Amino acid sequence: MPLILALLAALLLASAPAGASASSATAAAAQATAASAATTPVAYLPIDGPIDSGRARFFKRALAEARTKGARTVVVHLTTDGGRLDAGREMLLEALNVGADGPRLVAFVDNRAYSAGSLIAYGHHEILLTPQATIGDIGVIMQKQDGTIEYAPEKVETVVRTLLRSAGQNRGWNTAKLAKMVAREQVLWQIDREGVREWVIGDDLPAFLARHQELRRDGDFIVAGPASAAETRRVGHTVLGEDRLLSYTAQGAIDDGMATALVADLDAVYARLGTSKDAVISLSPTRTESVSWTLAEFAPLLAALAVIFLILEFKTPGVGIWATLAVVCGAAFFVCQFYMELASYVEVVLVVLGIGLVLAELFLLPTGGWLAIAGGMLMAGGFVLAFMPDVSQFDPKTPEWGGNLAGALLRSLLALCAITVAAVLTIIALPRMALRTGLATATAIDGTSAAPLEHDLAALAGQRGTASSDLTPSGRVAVGGREVGAASEHGEFIRAGAAVVVVGVHFGELVVRPAGEG
């Protein structure tokens, strides 16, 4: 008996340290896991507002920056009612391109993510929602020129359904439910078969029934058993009918497996990821990007102002104020469109080349207006292209190309209307403005000859002379043995050396016409 007691005591003594060691090891492992989670880099990327080319460019840049900074998780904060299909598609594909070696993408919605916003969200590995958030409704709509809205044709809808199917297969979301977010004319079925619940979209129902011969459709139900049987058992029914798009409240999305979890707020998201707000890498948009998104709404006005200021510069040549303002507005327009991925070097080259041809027509090589017409066409083409997304502007086969072209033409037309109205008002009002009179007079005095002759200019009316320089339409002429500033009567080009006749005086300048004209 003493031997047995001794053996038991030895076993107890041997087992106690082992148990303590195991407990310590477990605690250490838990602490290591928590420490690892706390030190794992997490990045924050906000997407707020309409989904457009600018935000697509920002999303791509921010994900690349997240990889560079070593982020293992990126929280994408979505707050949007949707936007452009091409931009949403680009952002979804960018999210799906993040593979297993890239950061884990977590979509966070604390308000709403509709249409293109939902399209992007389901390209993420996880979706976290606050209790008041809503998500879904990816109906593809198009706005006609008269302002009415209609759903896109089947050709476009098919593309979006395929994108969502790819997102579901890559990220684990139910493909049938995703399809019903966009498939307005298809029915979503719920089928309970052998204890397994499945959802099937209308297009996939025939193939589903072909794989399961024991099932058949009976109106709005799926029944089990042959058609000849006296009694059948209903195993499925329609969940959402035609002309309806699937959309979720936060709790509904969780219950249906179309979101990962509910969270209280952004801090709760960080706590779930084992980090805190202070340790998160911010991928917020730069100041330039934010300003570009704001100016994007005024892009047609910026383009119109650039042209209007050029017109004013031609009306008061030699001052340079209007030319400077034209350059500022034009630069702001192209910088804005560049950050929206609407304009690149092609558009800038077309516009600059067009301006060059117009200037060549006016000052260097008059061709009866042909160079000016060609320059105007190049500038118009550059401006229209500057309103079309770079990703599809030269690819008419893309589904959204027609809509993009219509939108670009509409915005260009708005700019043209603003230019026309402003030009008419300028022509009417400018001669009466004291500023214009002062500028023009100062310019004329700078270009005339000595003061004694200026008082006698009116006496030169009717005299003949010779153009000392090209009149384009302003220049210098030799009359009565002196050179004085002059302008052609109707703004026509008069080459140096041509004979002219003085027909009057305007703002301290002679007004001349070619000597051969009546």
pLDDT of residue 392: 64
pLDDT of residue 355: 78
Q: How far apart are CA 157 and CA 183, in angstroms?
A: 7
pLDDT of residue 23: 39
Q: How far apart are CA 7 and CA 14, in angstroms?
A: 11
Cβ(34)–Cβ(5) below 8 Å: no
3-state secondary structure of 275: coil
pLDDT of residue 334: 78
DSSP string, 302-354: HHHHHHHHHHHHHHSTT--HHHHHHHHHHHHHHHHHHHTTS--HHHHHHHHHH
Cβ(188)–Cβ(201) below 8 Å: yes
Q: From start to end of 49-133, where are the E strands?
A: 73-79, 104-109, 112-114, 126-129
Residues sharing a CB contact under 8 Å with residue 389, sequence separation 6 or more, in sequence order = 53, 84, 86, 87, 341, 342, 404
Inter-CA distances, 211 with 56, 168, 243, 296, 340, Å:
41, 21, 28, 52, 48
The DSSP code for 361 is: I
Q: How far apart are CA 6 and CA 17, in angstroms?
A: 18
Length of the chain: 518
Q: What residues form DSSP beta bridges with 248?
A: 135
Inter-CA distances, 85 with 36, 120, 314, Å:
39, 11, 42
Token pair for 279:
């340790």
* CATH classification number, 39-172+246-285, choose in 3.40.50.300, 3.90.420.10, 3.90.226.10, 3.30.70.3460: 3.90.226.10
DSSP string, 398-450: STTHHHHHHHHHHHHHHHHHHHHHHHHHHHHHGGG-HHHHHHHHHHHHHHS--
The position carrying tokens 């004291």 is 434
The DSSP code for 101 is: T
pLDDT of residue 190: 94
Task: Count Cβ atoms below 10 Å from residue 353 Cβ, excluding itself.
Answer: 15
What is the topology classification, in CATH, of domain 448-514?
OB fold (Dihydrolipoamide Acetyltransferase, E2P) (2.40.50)
The pTM of the full predicted model, rounded to 2 decimals, is 0.61
CATH 2.40.50.140 occupies which residues in the chain? Answer: 448-514
pLDDT of residue 333: 79
Q: How far apart are CA 507 and CA 443, in angstroms?
A: 9
pLDDT of residue 77: 97
Q: What residues form DSSP beta bridges with 478?
A: 466, 483
Q: What is the pLDDT of residues 187-217, one digit of tens each?
A: 999 999 878 899 999 999 999 999 988 898 9
Residues of the chain with pLDDT under 50: 1-38, 434-453
Q: Phi and psi dihedrals of 490, rounded to 5?
A: -110, 20
Token pair for 27:
């605690």
pLDDT of residue 155: 84
Cβ(262)–Cβ(251) below 8 Å: yes
CATH 3.90.226.10 occupies which residues in the chain? Answer: 39-172+246-285
Angle between helices 370-385 and 345-359 in degrees, nearest 10 = 160
Q: How far apart are CA 96 and CA 171, in angstroms?
A: 8
Cβ(277)–Cβ(75) below 8 Å: no
- SS3 track for 229-267: CCCCEEEEEEEECCCCCCEEEHHHHHHCCCCCEECCCHH
pLDDT of residue 439: 45
3-state secondary structure of 218: strand
